[in-house]
Chain A
Amino acid sequence: MRLEPIAAPSHARTLVPPAIAIAATIAVAGLLAAMAGANPLHTFGLIVKGAFGSKFALLETLNRATPLIFTGLAVAVAFRARLWNIGAEAQLYAGALLTVLIGTQLGLPGPLAIPLMALGAVIAGALLLLGPVLLKTRLGVDEVVTTLLLNFVMALFISYLLEGPLKDPMGMGWPKSPSLPRDARLPRIVDGLRLHWGFALALICAAGVWVIQTRTTLGYEIRAVGANPQAARFAGIPVTATLVKTALLSGGLAALAGFSEVAGLKGNLTTDLSASFGYTGIVVAMLALLHPLGVVVSALFVAGIFVGADSMSRAAQVPTYIADLLLASALLFMVLAVLLTRFRVVRG
C-alpha cells in the first residue's frame, strides 16, 4: 500500500475519519469497562457525571484543566516548529520552584510578589529548555532524549531541595516547602468558588499564543521552520533564532503551569505537585491538532476524563487507569484519522 495526497478533500473526507476515531475510542473504553466487569454505559455516565455533573465537579475539572492548558500550549508551540519538547514536566517544576523561592524568601508585598513570581517562573522554564535547544542547534544532540532525561534530573533536584534547604520547618517532617503568604496567592475569580485567576491567565495565554501564531512574523517563521527547515533557511528565515525563541516561549508556558498550581491552588511545593501534567500536555496538544484555542477545549476534555474517572472508580470497580488508556487510544486514533483526511490509501 502507499499514500496518495488528496488535492481537494471533500467534506466527508474531512469529517468521517475523525468521527470514526472518536467512535473507536469510545468502543475501546467500553471494552475496558466490560473487562473490569462493569456496564460500559453506566461507567461512561459516571465519568461524565463526575466531570461535569455538579458545580463542584465542574470547578474541579476547570482546576485540573488549568495546568493542562499551559503545558498543552507549551507542547503545541514547540511541536509546531518540530521542536520536540518532552520536558514540560521539568519546566513546570522549575516554574513552581521559582514561584516558591520568590514568594517565600524575599518577603515582598503581594501585589509586587505575584508578578515577580510569574516572571521568575517563566525565565526559569525558558532557560531550562534553552539548554537542550542549544545542544540541538549547535551539536545536533536530539532534544527528545535530553528533555526527557532532564525531567528525572529535575524531579530529583526538587526532592533534594524539599528534604534539604527548602524544607518547611513547620512541615512535621514531610518533604514540602514553606507555604506562600496569604497575599502572595492568586485570588479566586469569584468569591466562594474554588477557581483561581490561574485559569484566566491560561485562557489569556491561549489567546496570546493564537495571536502570535496567526498575526506575527514569529508565528510565520515558526510554521515555516516546522514545515521544512531547509526551505525555511533557503528563504532567509533565521532557523536557529526561531527555534530559540520557540523554546523560550514553550518553556515559559510550561513553567506558568507550575506557577499557577503553586500560587493558585496548593500554596507550596511538593514532589507530587504535578500529576504528570507535563506528559499529559502532549496528549492535550495533539488532540487539539496543535491549535492554541483548541488546546483549551482539549484540556477541558482531558481534565474531565481524569476527574470523571477518579470519581467513577470510587463508585464502580473500574481502575482509574482507564483514563490514561482512553486518552492514549484517542491520541493514536486521532493522529491516524487526521492523516486519512488528507491522504488516501492506494494499493501497490
Chain B
Amino acid sequence: MTDIVDILLSASFWAAILRIASPLIFATMGELICERAGVLNLGIEGIMVFGAFAGWMAVYAGLPLWGGVAVAMLAGMAFGALHGVLTIPFGLSQHVVGLGITMLATAAAYYAYRLALPEVTNPPRITPFQPLHIPVLSDLPWLGQALFSQTALTWAGFAATGATALVLFRTPLGLAVRAAGENPQAVEAQGLSVTAIRMGAVIVGSGLMAVGGAFLTMSAFSSFFFEMVNGRGWICIALVVFGAWKPGKALLGALLFAGFDALQIRLQQTGLGQVVPYQVFLMIPYLLSILALIVMSRRAETPAALMTPFNRGDR
C-alpha cells in the first residue's frame, strides 16, 4: 500500500500520465470527429503508425519539428481522404474499408521505412520536442515538475480538445457535423451536402490521428519502431465510446486510462511486481478498455446515423 502512496506522491508519475495520454488525446479527438459525422474510422491504428513514421522521417530528413508534425498531419489527411471517398460517396462497409486502411497505412510505413533505411537494426534518433518551460508555473516546487514539464505537443493536444469541443458545440459548422451523424436527411433538407461534411470530418479527424502517432516518435520517444503504436488506436475507439462522444469526457477518459497505465508500469517495479507476472500489468489497459465499453454500453448515446452510409435519393 505504501508503494502506491509513494507512486501517487511522485511528480514523475503525474508527468507520465500527461505524456502517456497525449497521443491518445489527439487520436481520440480525431476518431470522435469522424464518428460525430457518422463515420466509424477503423483506419485509426494504421494512420497512427503512418503518422509516427512520417513525422519522424521528415525531421530525420532535415525538417524542423513542427514541419514534421505538419507532414504527419497531411499524410493522415491523405489516408482520411481515401477512407472518406470509399465509405462516404461509395458507401462501402466502414468496417472493411477501415481495416483495409489500417493494413495499407501500416504496410506503407514499414515499406517506406525499409526503403529509406535498408540495413539498420537500430533506427536513428532525432532530437525530439523538449519540455516547454512555462514561466513561474514550471518553477513551482513539485507541481512544476508534475504538471508543467510537458512538451508543446502535449499542450497542443489539450488545445485540440478545446477546439474540437468549441467547434462541435458552439458553431454552425459543428452543428452541421453532428447533424450529419444524427440525421443526414435533415442536413440535405437544409441544402447542405452530407458528403462534403462527412468528408471534411474524416479528413480532419484522420489528420489528428496521425499527429497522435507522431507524438510517439517526436515527443515520447525519438525513433520509429515496428509495432510501437501497439493497439493504441483501438483503445482510442473504446475511449470515444467511454466519453459518450463528448470531447471533455473523452479527454477525462484518456487521462484516467493513462493514469492506470502509468500506475501499472510503476507497480511492476514494486514488491507486487515480484509476485504478479508483468504480462498481467500489460493486460490492464486492454481489459480496462473492454470494461469501459461494458460499463458505458447502457448509457451509450451513439450518433444515430453512425455507420449508415447516406445516398442521396434513398429513402
Which residues from chain A sit less than 8 Å from chain B, CB to CB? Answer: 1-4, 32, 35-36, 84, 86, 135, 139-142, 144-146, 148-153, 156-157, 159-160, 163-164, 279, 282-283, 286, 317, 319, 321-322, 324-325, 327-329, 331-332, 335-336, 339, 348
Number of A-B contacts (CB under 8 A): 129
> Given the complex of chains A and B, what is the CA–CA distance between A8 and B288 in angstroms?
50
Cβ–Cβ contact B115 & A324, under 8 A: no
> Given the complex of chains A and B, what is the CA–CA distance between A325 and B101 in angstroms?
10
Give 25 CB contacts A-B under 8 Å: A2-B311, A4-B313, A32-B111, A135-B294, A139-B297, A144-B42, A144-B95, A146-B293, A149-B289, A152-B286, A153-B283, A156-B282, A156-B286, A157-B283, A159-B279, A282-B96, A317-B118, A319-B110, A322-B111, A324-B103, A324-B106, A331-B96, A332-B100, A335-B86, A335-B96
> Given the complex of chains A and B, what is the CA–CA distance between A319 and B312 in angstroms?
44
Q: How far is the CB of A230 from chain B (nearest CB, A)?
A: 13
In the complex, which range does the number of interface residues on chain B fall in? 35 or more
Closest A-chain residue to B236, C-beta based?
A145
> Given the complex of chains A and B, what is the CA–CA distance between A148 and B45 in angstroms?
11
Determine the chain A residues whose CB is within 8 A of the CB of B298 once the complex forms: 139
> Given the complex of chains A and B, what is the CA–CA distance between A144 and B35 in angstroms?
15
Cβ–Cβ contact A321 & B313, under 8 A: no
> Given the complex of chains A and B, what is the CA–CA distance between A160 and B82 in angstroms?
39
Determine the chain A residues whose CB is within 8 A of the CB of B86 once the complex forms: 332, 335-336
> Contact string, B280-299, partner A, CB cutoff 8 A, digits 1/0?
10110011011001100110
> Given the complex of chains A and B, what is the CA–CA distance between A164 and B277 in angstroms?
9
Q: Does B248 contact A (CB under 8 A)?
A: no
Identify which of B114, B231, B289 contacts A321 (C-beta below 8 A).
B114
Determine the chain A residues whose CB is within 8 A of the CB of B313 once the complex forms: 2, 4
Determine the chain A residues whose CB is within 8 A of the CB of B293 once the complex forms: 135, 141-142, 145-146
Determine the chain B residues whose CB is within 8 A of the CB of A329 once the complex forms: 104
Q: How far is the CB of B296 from chain A (nearest CB, A)?
A: 9
Determine the chain A residues whose CB is within 8 A of the CB of B230 once the complex forms: 152
Closest B-chain residue to A1, C-beta based?
B89
Identify which of A153, A322, A328 contacts B100 (C-beta below 8 A).
A328
Determine the chain B residues whose CB is within 8 A of the CB of A140 once the complex forms: 297, 300
> Given the complex of chains A and B, what is the CA–CA distance between A319 and B86 in angstroms?
28
Known pairs A140-B300, A141-B294, A145-B234; A160 contacts B115 (CB<8 A): no
Known pairs A141-B297, A149-B286; A156 contacts B107 (CB<8 A): no
Determine the chain B residues whose CB is within 8 A of the CB of A325 once the complex forms: 104, 107-108, 111
Q: How far is the CB of B110 from chain A (nearest CB, A)?
A: 4
Cβ–Cβ contact A152 & B231, under 8 A: yes
Cβ–Cβ contact B99 & A282, under 8 A: yes
Determine the chain A residues whose CB is within 8 A of the CB of B106 once the complex forms: 324
Q: How far is the CB of A136 from chain B (nearest CB, A)?
A: 10
> Given the complex of chains A and B, what is the CA–CA distance between A331 and B231 in angstroms?
22
Cβ–Cβ contact B286 & A335, under 8 A: no
Determine the chain A residues whose CB is within 8 A of the CB of B108 once the complex forms: 325
Q: How far is the CB of B291 from chain A (nearest CB, A)?
A: 10
Q: How far is the CB of B75 from chain A (nearest CB, A)?
A: 15
Identify which of A1, A149, A164 contacts B235 (C-beta below 8 A).
A149
> Given the complex of chains A and B, what is the CA–CA distance between A286 and B98 in angstroms?
13
Known pairs A156-B279, A160-B277, A160-B280; A149 contacts B96 (CB<8 A): no
> Contact string, B256-269, partner A, CB cutoff 8 A, digits 1/0?
00000000000000
Determine the chain A residues whose CB is within 8 A of the CB of B90 once the complex forms: 3, 336, 339
> Given the complex of chains A and B, what is the CA–CA distance between A68 and B255 in angstroms?
39
> Given the complex of chains A and B, what is the CA–CA distance between A153 and B40 in angstroms?
23
Known pairs A156-B279, A286-B96, A335-B96; A149 contacts B312 (CB<8 A): no
Cβ–Cβ contact B286 & A283, under 8 A: no
Q: Does B93 contact A (CB under 8 A)?
A: yes
Determine the chain A residues whose CB is within 8 A of the CB of B312 once the complex forms: 2, 348
Determine the chain B residues whose CB is within 8 A of the CB of A148 once the complex forms: 231, 234
Q: How far is the CB of B313 from chain A (nearest CB, A)?
A: 5
Q: Does B241 contact A (CB under 8 A)?
A: yes
Determine the chain B residues whose CB is within 8 A of the CB of A151 once the complex forms: 231
Known pairs A328-B103, A329-B104, A335-B92; A35 contacts B110 (CB<8 A): no
> Given the complex of chains A and B, what is the CA–CA distance between A139 and B235 in angstroms?
19
Interface members, chain B 4-55 (any A CB < 8 Å): 42
